[in-house]
Amino acid sequence: MENVSKTVLPNGLTIVTEEVESVKSLSVGIWVKTGSRNESIEQAGITHFLEHMLFKGTSKRNHFQIAQSLERVGGYLNAFTSNEHTCYYARCLDDELELALDVLCDMVLNPTFPAEELEKEKKVVLEELKMYKDQPDDVLFESFVGDLFKGHPLGRPIIGYEETIKAYTRDQLYGYMTEYYQPWNLTISLAGKANHEKVVELVSKMFDKASSDNEQKISSPLTPYTPFSLKLKKDVEQTYYVLGKRSLSISDDDRYKLLLANTVLGAGMSSRLHQNIREKHGYCYAISTINQAYEDTGIFGVYAGTDKEYVDHLRELVYKEFESLQTVLIPENEFHDAKQQLKGSLILSQESMSNRMMRLGKSELYFKRWVSLDELSERIDNVSAKDVLSFSKEFFDTKSFSEARLIPTEA
């Protein structure tokens, strides 16, 4: 039984918790509903850079004290930035609840952005940018997504560009925080051994001086999508290949049909793509699907690394699997197994307090309510093989797909 509670403070900050009595730990995160899609072109990458800078000092802790705070009691502190949200999170023993909340709230409420740390962190992020440019799959995906959402912030890399990173100032960082890091735009989620009322009491004290202007920010409308073909070259051994399209939003009712189609197609070693392309033909070491949902759109695709001589064969085999989903009812036993695989992975993920905290936070950010495992399982069970067949006829139309390949320089 999921013991989930929710409180919205008078200033608009939302607190959601799931109390799990059987553990001795907890995971807590502060979520900010802002990501790279909220940036102007001049700000590109600032959400990610700000995430780095919040670890560099507050009015009562320097960067080392922040780093040491949870580690010295056996826990850890981290953060990540996505296209649509930023999360600062901690994992620790249950008796360190107040410490974890104090450190996270201090970082979000009282950053100082020391000038020396600002310039140092620019170097760090530029090195991170170079690291991505050395990774063939990152280079390919950045270019593919850039064309998939051409002219829209979703098409820009979360890390930003060299010229924007070098230009960030303290005033820009404070300005961005003033705009988005307000209680109405924050959610605190916690999973583990912690009493909800105690969490609310602690957070209320820490945010007692924080107020909201109640100005809701609206994301940029999507730009039109036209299928494309993209070819890049890099000094690599394999050809890296992605075939994909814009997909469903996170609130689309058809997403459960897509989840099941995706499971049959590319989830794991027993999937059709793995069995019929790797195992049967040996055309690749790994092949998988991409299924990413955003608030108003998504990305679906197939990704593989293969020899340049096999790319066209691989693509035709992928299209053959698309055609099968469009024309042939998924056999009863395979469809049953796909449902069990999907539900099983959801349940297994709940063994981790960090995963529970993440699901709590995302559920609140996207749906403003708790979406229980029972509800998810019911939605999955309610999808029939005929539903997936009908959905696939349009969704897997090959004319709607784009492709990108990164090929060896000498090819």
* Residue 344 pLDDT: 96
pLDDT tier at 215, thresholds 50, 70, 90 = low
Task: Report whether pLDDT(217) > 70.
Answer: no
* Residue 143 pLDDT: 98
Task: Report whether pLDDT(211) > 90.
Answer: no
Q: With beta carbons less than 8 A apart as the criterion, state whether 104 and 28 touch.
A: yes
CA 306 to chain centre: 26
Which of 129, 127, 135 has the alpha carbon at shortest distance from 235? Answer: 135
CA 374 – CA 55 distance, rounded (Å): 38
* Residue 2 pLDDT: 80
* Residue 214 pLDDT: 60
Task: Report whether pLDDT(65) > 70.
Answer: yes
Mean pLDDT score, 34-42: 96
Residues with Cβ within 8 Å of 205's Cβ and at least 6 positions away in sequence, in order, are none
Question: What are the residue ranges of helices labelled H in 192-267?
Answer: 196-206, 255-266
**What one-letter code names the amino acid at 351?**
E
Mean pLDDT score, 307-329: 96
Written as six digits, the tokens of 349 are 């993920």
Mean pLDDT score, 15-29: 97
* Residue 411 pLDDT: 62
* Residue 26 pLDDT: 98
pLDDT digits (tens, 9 = 90+) for 84-134: 999 999 999 999 999 999 999 999 999 999 999 999 999 999 999 999 999
CA 284 – CA 305 distance, rounded (Å): 6
Q: What does DSSP assign to residue 372? A: -
CB atoms within 10 A of CB 251: 11
Written as six digits, the tokens of 314 are 């691989």
Q: With beta carbons less than 8 A apart as the criterion, state whether 239 and 307 touch.
A: yes
* Residue 1 pLDDT: 61
CB burial readout 218-229, b (16+ within 10 A) else e: ebeeeeebeeee
**Percent with pLDDT over 90 in the chain:** 95
CA 7 – CA 364 distance, rounded (Å): 11
**Percent with pLDDT over 70 in the chain:** 98
How big is the CA angle at 229 (ends 155 and 306), to the nearest 5 degrees?
100
CA 56 – CA 52 distance, rounded (Å): 7
Mean pLDDT score, 373-392: 97
Residue 209, phi then psi, degrees to nearest 5: -100, 0
Mean pLDDT score, 321-333: 98
Domains 4-206 and 229-408 share a fold: yes
pLDDT tier at 71, thresholds 50, 70, 90 = very high
Residues annotated as catalytic are 51
Written as six digits, the tokens of 84 are 């649509």
pLDDT digits (tens, 9 = 90+) for 236-247: 999 999 999 999
End-to-end CA distance of the chain: 57
CA 279 – CA 224 distance, rounded (Å): 38
**What one-letter code names the amino acid at 244?**
G
* Residue 104 pLDDT: 98
- Angle at which helix 136-148 crosses helix 115-133, to 10 degrees, equals 100
CA 166 to chain centre: 26
In this predicted model, which residue has the larger pLDDT, 211 or 350?
350
Q: Could you say which of 3.40.50.300, 3.30.830.10, 3.30.70.3270, 3.30.420.40 is the CATH number of the domain covering 229-408?
A: 3.30.830.10
Domain 4-206 has CATH 3.30.830.10: yes
Q: With beta carbons less than 8 A apart as the criterion, state whether 407 and 370 touch.
A: no
pTM: 0.95
* Residue 5 pLDDT: 98
Q: Between β-strands 239-246 and 186-192, what pairing exists: parallel, antiparallel or unpaired?
A: unpaired
Residues with Cβ within 8 Å of 313's Cβ and at least 6 positions away in sequence, in order, are 281, 283
Task: Report whether pLDDT(406) > 90.
Answer: yes
The DSSP element (H or E) to which 348 belongs, if any, is helix 332-349
β-sheet bridge partners, residue 293: 298
Task: Report whether pLDDT(187) > 90.
Answer: yes
Domain ranges of the chain: 4-206, 229-408
* Residue 322 pLDDT: 98
Task: Report whether pLDDT(219) > 90.
Answer: no
- Count how many Cα atoms sit within 13 Å of the Cα of residue 116 in the half-sphere of its side chain: 3
CA 278 – CA 305 distance, rounded (Å): 11
pLDDT tier at 370, thresholds 50, 70, 90 = very high
- Mean pLDDT of all residues in the chain? 96
* Residue 212 pLDDT: 72
